[in-house]
Structure 1
């Protein structure tokens, strides 16, 4: 398999030479098509890792390579979804989803001439996430869960090779969260996109991911990598099985140990 994300011995410090060391000796590999999750104590550098992969931060030491290219600027092949969907209230759901096409260079020049094709692509994504027919609605007409579904569509509309998810379901109730786990599970299966999920929810990581990276307390580094043993496709009933709960408890113990070592 080919490494889509290659991070090797990376140090990232905020605030100059005497500032806060956020990650140190950070090393991880994510293969093309993988679904990877990153977990760890609060403040361990999970968000810094996201910014390093997307090129929003350039490390002081070490190497970050995405899709075969050394990262020295923001990476255009990445789609991102965060806990807050941040939909523009004056644009319809469809118009919000099309927004990245106005920004990503290779699509921006084609948008006007090929708008009909892009709209069809957006409507297909809406159907995939269970929002068929909601493209004309405004964000304030959608529930939080529906906005997050649309947010996933927006992150995927420019056909990224890599989808970065930063606590995307953390603000939702338990039932809506589990519904969206199934949505992202199905999107991963249908689209084949590589996904890196940053989450505090160990059940979420264990249900969705192929591999789980456990980070130490700050300065963050990877202290353990788990290969998730559960076959796909996965059903929510998996969470009631002993092997699943054993994995969750093991992750919990590793993070507790990392916190005490801080």
Structure 2
């Protein structure tokens, strides 16, 4: 495989090989540079574990993981991450929350003070891009859940990551806000071109956003299907009501239902 993100024959057991829980077994997948991939599967199949492996937060017992042509042996500096819970620091303004990675991640950390004005302008431009112009001085508790998640996406992107990892980022939001943020995510990906891996339980979300969808088996998780999504970009939200779109959603649902039944 020659993808931007490659996992080959990955095996991971939590709690020790002898009597632990086998989370992933023989998992292999490849995501090309600039591609948007979604990962779906039954609850507990190891989707979030896959995210931790790909970003170097944990290491497998067997198999290899490469990102940007380098074997992963620790936290991946080219990755940005966003989760279901925005986890914004309540004592920092939205703008300061967005800029937080620049105070931590090199090479930005070493020049943060000298280039703070430029970094501030960059953060404000990102906030405007996601519809939060004028909200930089607001604190998290002054924002709705959807607005917090928009700011959270900006924080994940502020240091120009080559890889964006999304773990159920819209799962806690109402249906209308989710669809709004799907379109925000669609537009961000189109403009920035970063490689994206999205873990989600929402099959409509996966099909709307992704170039390909990886379907996982029940635990121990492995990839049982790689489904290309054929719809041209940019995709209008009205696509989600068309029969061809819903045929793919039902196909994925059947794969997951069969995976659960076989467990």
**TM-score normalised by the shorter chain: which range applies?**
over 0.9
Partner of 1:111: 112
Shift of 1:106: 1.2
Partner of 2:3: 3
Pair 1:136–1:2, CA change in 2 (3 A): farther
1:205 aligns to what SS in structure 2? helix
1:57 aligns to what SS in structure 2? coil
2: CA distance, partners of 1:194 / 1:133: 29
Confirm or deny: 8 A CA contact 1:2 1:32 kept in the other structure: no
Shift of 1:240: 1.2
Shift of 1:105: 2.0
2: CA distance, partners of 1:158 / 1:105: 9
2: CA distance, partners of 1:190 / 1:177: 20
Partner of 1:183: 184
Confirm or deny: 8 A CA contact 2:38 2:200 kept in the other structure: yes
2: CA distance, partners of 1:166 / 1:120: 28
Partner of 2:138: 137
Partner of 2:63: 62
Deviant stretches of 4+, over 3 Å: none
Partner of 1:14: 14
Shift of 1:2: 5.5
Shift of 1:110: 1.0
1: CA distance, partners of 2:3 / 2:121: 32
Confirm or deny: 8 A CA contact 1:33 1:192 kept in the other structure: yes
1: CA distance, partners of 2:112 / 2:128: 21
1:42-191 equivalence runs, <5 A: 42-191=43-192
Unaligned ranges ≥5, structure 1: none
1: CA distance, partners of 2:134 / 2:194: 25
1:164 aligns to what SS in structure 2? strand
Partner of 2:218: 217
2: CA distance, partners of 1:193 / 1:134: 25
The number of aligned residues is: 262
Kindly indicate whether residue 247 of structure 2 is the aligned counterpart of residue 246 of structure 1: yes
After TM superposition, the score normalised by the length of structure 1 is 0.99
Confirm or deny: 8 A CA contact 2:2 2:30 kept in the other structure: no
After TM superposition, the score normalised by the length of structure 2 is 0.98
Partner of 1:228: 229
1:105 aligns to what SS in structure 2? coil
Shift of 1:102: 1.2
1:180-233 CA-partner distances (Å, limit 9, x unpaired): 000000000010111100000000000000000000000000000011010000
Unaligned ranges ≥5, structure 2: none
1:93-120 CA-partner distances (Å, limit 9, x unpaired): 0000010111112110010110111111
2: CA distance, partners of 1:200 / 1:259: 14
